Amino acid sequence: MDLIKPQGLRLFLLLVFVATFVALSSPTDSAEPLAISESQARDSVQWLATIAMREVPRKYQGDKDWGETKQVWAGVRTRLDGFKIKTHRRYRELEHGRWIQYEIQLPPVNSPTAAKTVVHAVTRSEEDRWKIASTTETPLTFTARIQRWNYGVKWYSVTVSGRLTVSLRLGSSIGFAADYLEVPPALVIDPKVETAELSLVRFEVDRVSHIGGDAAEAWGEVMQEVIVERFVNKQNVRIVSKLNKAIGKNRDDLRFSWSGFFSQVLAAP
């Protein structure tokens, strides 16, 4: 999964670096913490929120009880064993129950309706890090196929489509440090997700095939329960570890080197 475009991230790091470079003191230890402003820390969380929402699958397919069967008695099989008659009960599997198959899709990354982030609070911690509370909302679309089977007979099949909005509430921290092992010093950004919770904010059914009125509303309620159970709750199980793993994969883009930047500029046509 392509989590973020390196060009956009490097531009962002350049802006942060220019804003903080004037605060650098004489070299001491490598990766020395930097003091930055609240506004700079607030801007930095936008990248973290982008990674967070892009870690959610762009397309999610799932089902609930799709293909479920029920075992029913199908008579008795008899056979002659010498002078004895032996019997064996026969069973068969028949399609049975309510089957649901669905697909949830996020909008394109650069779409005007893509994720929006709001930063609620930025506070400095004792460890020279910034604690940041933020919420990111993104719209999604869904399509579902619902069938009802009764002992091998299909009673009906309907298609439900609609829209929903999910909210990702993040509690994160970000640290900034100057790495004096390079001249000029490199800027190192160290984000970490501490808490994360995905929740359903809005849910709307646009269409239910061949059904209207109260029946359509009832199917909308069924799909809302399924999406919360199978999509939202499932994402919440390991979301913090998944987000921090995604950050770890982008560590190279969290280090901005002046020497590397100037090398690229000089090499450009």
Residue 233 forms part of a structural domain: yes
Residue 128 forms part of a structural domain: yes
Residue 85 forms part of a structural domain: no
Average pLDDT of the chain, as a whole number: 76
For residue 194, pLDDT over 70 is answered with yes
Strand extents, DSSP E, 15-115: 32-33, 59-64, 69-81, 84-95, 97-105
The better pLDDT of the pair 34, 58 is held by 58
As a whole number of angstroms, the distance between CA 180 and CA 257 comes to 11
Q: Using an 8 Å Cβ cutoff, are 188 and 179 in contact?
A: yes
* Joined tokens for residue 23: 């605060």
Which CA distances in Å does 178 have to 55, 72, 118?
A: 28, 71, 28
Q: Which domain holds residue 148?
A: 6-68+97-267
The pLDDT score that the predictor gives to residue 202 is 92
Domains identified in the chain, total number: 1
As a whole number of angstroms, the distance between CA 190 and CA 64 comes to 40
Q: Using an 8 Å Cβ cutoff, are 147 and 99 in contact?
A: yes
Residue 170 forms part of a structural domain: yes
The better pLDDT of the pair 139, 46 is held by 139
The better pLDDT of the pair 47, 223 is held by 223
pLDDT tens digits, residue range 82-105? Answer: 777 777 788 889 999 999 999 999
The pLDDT score that the predictor gives to residue 261 is 52
**CATH code where residue 249 lies:** 3.15.10
Residue 148 forms part of a structural domain: yes
Instruction: Report yes or no on whether pTM surpasses 0.75.
Output: no
Q: Using an 8 Å Cβ cutoff, are 186 and 258 in contact?
A: yes
The better pLDDT of the pair 147, 263 is held by 147
SS3 257: coil
As a whole number of angstroms, the distance between CA 9 and CA 243 comes to 17
Residue 75 forms part of a structural domain: no
For residue 107, pLDDT over 60 is answered with yes
Residue 91 forms part of a structural domain: no
Residues 45-71: what's their mean pLDDT? 76
Q: Using an 8 Å Cβ cutoff, are 29 and 39 in contact?
A: no
Residue 260 forms part of a structural domain: yes
